[in-house]
Structure formats: structure tokens, C-alpha cells
Amino acid sequence: MCKKTELNNGLTLVTNHMSNMESMAIGIWIRTGSRNEDEKNSGMSHFLEHMLFKGTPSRSCRKLKEEIEGRGGSLNGFTSEEVSCFLAKVSFKHQDIALEVLSDMVLNASIDEKELERERGVIIEEIKMYQDLPNHQVHDILAEIMWPGNSLGLSIAGSIDSVSSVLRKDIIEYRNTNYTPQNIVVALCGNLDHSAIESRLKKIFTGTIKGKIKPVEAFCNNQSKPRMKILCKDTKQAHLCIGLHSFGKNHKDRFALTILHIILGANMSSRLFENIREKKGLAYEIGAEVKRYNETGAFVVHAGTEHKKAREAIRCILKELKGIKEKYVTLGELKRAKEFFKVQLLMALEDTVEHMLWLGDYAASLNKLPDREDIIKKVESVTADDIKRVSQSIFNSSGLNIAVIGELEDREQREIEKELVL
């Protein structure tokens, strides 16, 4: 059973008691990410994430890891556009020490100058590595053209220039501004006692001052025609991304969009995989994903193909998108997609870490608890009419964005531009 409590200092605690589970998953979520940055301090959230693992006044970098891994657990963290998360998986018997270690990292990280310089080099190499991976870089290019002038268009890792210029005082100021109790969600899943954890958090966060949630700049979509950016590069394959603006995490049509995504590109029985890869042989890998942010989002198709097949692959992908908004999906497709969603969700929630990530994301993003049965009920209620209506609202030429990395001749580029029609 999921429970949610807000402490007097604004910190939110969410838990789910999963009896008979040996593992315990703990996550401390901060409502800050790359959306809270600008071009000058791009990558700050990600840099800070790295620094939190480098030690506190009471625990060295090695000690932090040993406290968790020495008890058979694991310690990790990640940064996204809207949140940063620090998580541990341990035996339920070690939940107290794991919670203490994570809280120590979040509240007391030393941000040592020597460690900062060492980590700066690591992150710059990480950025260079991503730039050498066209299947990753193409997503960054797509973000640039989809979200111009908005922080959503910035790389989570930042740029070499922005990371090179970050100072210790900048990181400390960023942490002090954003890592406040009102911006923090603590999520736990496993064999636990909600009240006992609440009492423990009150002691750990005693003396912390209630902060403010700093609103981010909302994205206003004023795109009126297709956009395309091609990076000519000597690669083994051409890599492409097609992106279209969709809607936010709490939109009334989010469940229809989920089913639309499954039908089109979530697995090997999807339309894109079956028609583009299997029947036409135009791509080795192809799929789709839905990016969901607080007030906006994107539907993205990605593929890797031979350079000479890139134009045809784009044409056929657009044909699939156009087809699903012009003709009703079959009852069989609808049934299979709903079953896929339901079973994938239920299987994921058997794992304490996956359950914690689901629970924490809901609480951090929407400030509420997820209701599994309600979600399944709403997915089951999605109709073919809903799929058609949502696809018609999203799949339009005016909101079309295409990023390509590969060796494309000028003639091919011009031909692609002529065919950007949905």
C-alpha cells in the first residue's frame, strides 16, 4: 500500500510496503535538472550529481561506497531534464544505514576542489564520448531543433565550454538553491514501516530550512513548419531521429498516447519494426519513445540505416505516421498493445527498484501517488477513436522535426526536404 506524508519543512515522503521482499529500494529525488539551467551553466545538475559521490565531511568517497556495497547493496544516481535522483538497493535489514548514507550525500557533500577538477575532466571526456556516438548525438541535435531557445534543447551533460567554466562556488550555490526540503522527495519500496521512516527523516533533516520550488520556463511551441538538421559525418550507419511535439505528464490523452506509442514502435511486433525493418529491410534498429515533461513532451522515432537508404527510411516512417492518423487501428492491435502495457507494468512493479522509480517519479513530477488499478483502467478504456484523434493532433507537418547524422549528398538532402509532409 502506497503512503505519502509531507513533513513540516516541505520534504515529501512516499513509500510502498512490499512484504516478504528481501530487497529495499531507496531514492532521494530532487526537483531539479537540466531544465533549471541555461546555456552558461548547462550541465550543472549533472556535475553536482557526480560531486555528491565524492565524499562528505564524515565519509570519504570510498567509505560511501563501502557502506552500501559492503552490505551487498548498490549505489547509483542519475540526472534528467526535470529531476536528479540518488538511489540505493540494499537488504531491508540495512535500510537505516542506506537512508543515512544517501541523506549525507545530498545534505553534506564536501564539493572538494581537487575532486571537482578531477571530475571536470571525467565529464568532459564523457561529453566527447557522446559526441563520438552518432546514435546518441542525433538525439541532442533533435533536441536543439525541437526546443530552440529553451533549456529542453540543452544537453543534460552540458557542453565542454560550460563544464570547463564551472567554479566550486557555482556548484555550492546551485545546491543550496535547489537542494532544499521542499524540492526533495524521499521514496522507499520494500519491507518497511512508513511511520518509522518518517520519524527518522525528521531527525535527519532537522534544522533544514523550508525552501522554494523555483519554476522553470514553460515551453511555448510556436513551430509553424518542418525543421531539419543534417550533420554530415563519416559514420558506419546513418542515424536519424524524427520528433513531433506532444503533451505533458498529466494531460488527459496521455494514456492514448501510450497505446499509440506501443502500436507504432515500442517492441518487435510494432508497425515500425515490422514494416520498416522486417518487410522493407530499411533499418537494423528502429523504435519509438515518448518524452514526457511537466507541461510538454515529444513523440520520437529513431532508426539506424545504411546511408543510401536514409531518404527512403524517412519517407516510409512518415508514411507509417500518416497512415495511423488516417485509418483506424485494428481491434487486435489495440488489444495487444493494452495487454503489453499492463503486463510490462505489473512485471516491473515486482522489482523494488523499478517500483521506487515509478513511485518517486510520480511524487516528484506530479506531487501525487500513482494508482496502479486506475492507470490500468484508463489504459483499458482507450479506443480506436482516441488513437486516431491523438495521432491527428500530434502528427502534423507543421510540428515535424528531423535530425540526421551520416553521409548524405546535397541532392538527397534536398529530396528529403521536399518530402517532409504528414
Q: List residues with catalytic annotation.
A: 49
∠ CA 38-43-48, nearest 5°, is: 120
Task: Find out whether 219 and 152 touch, Cβ atoms under 8 Å.
Answer: yes
Estimate to the nearest angstrom the gap between the alpha carbon of 285 and the chain centroid: 21
First-to-final CA distance of the chain? 45
SS (H, E, C) the chain: CEEEEECCCCCEEEEEECCCCCEEEEEEEECCCHHHCCCCCCCHHHHHHHHCCCECCCCEHHHHHHHHHCCCCEEEEEECCCCEEEEEEEEHHHHHHHHHHHHHHHHHCCCCHHHHHHHHHHHHHHHHHHHCCHHHHHHHHHHHHHCCCCHHHCCCCCCHHHHHHCCHHHHHHHHHHHCCHHHEEEEEEECCCHHHHHHHHHHHCCCCCCCCCCCCCCCCCCCCCCEEEEEECCCCCEEEEEEEEEECCCCCCHHHHHHHHHHHHCCCCCHHHHHHHHHCCCCCEEEEEEEECCCEEEEEEEEEECHHHHHHHHHHHHHHHHHHHHCCCCHHHHHHHHHHHHHHHHHHCCCHHHHHHHHHHHHHHHCCCCCHHHHHHHHHCCCHHHHHHHHHHHCCHHHEEEEEEECCCHHHHHHHHHCCCC
**CA distance linking residue 142 with residue 139, whole number of Å:** 5
Sign of the torsion formed by the C-alpha atoms of 232, 237, 242 and 247 = negative
- 301 bridge partner residues: 242, 288
Estimate to the nearest angstrom the gap between the alpha carbon of 54 and the chain centroid: 24
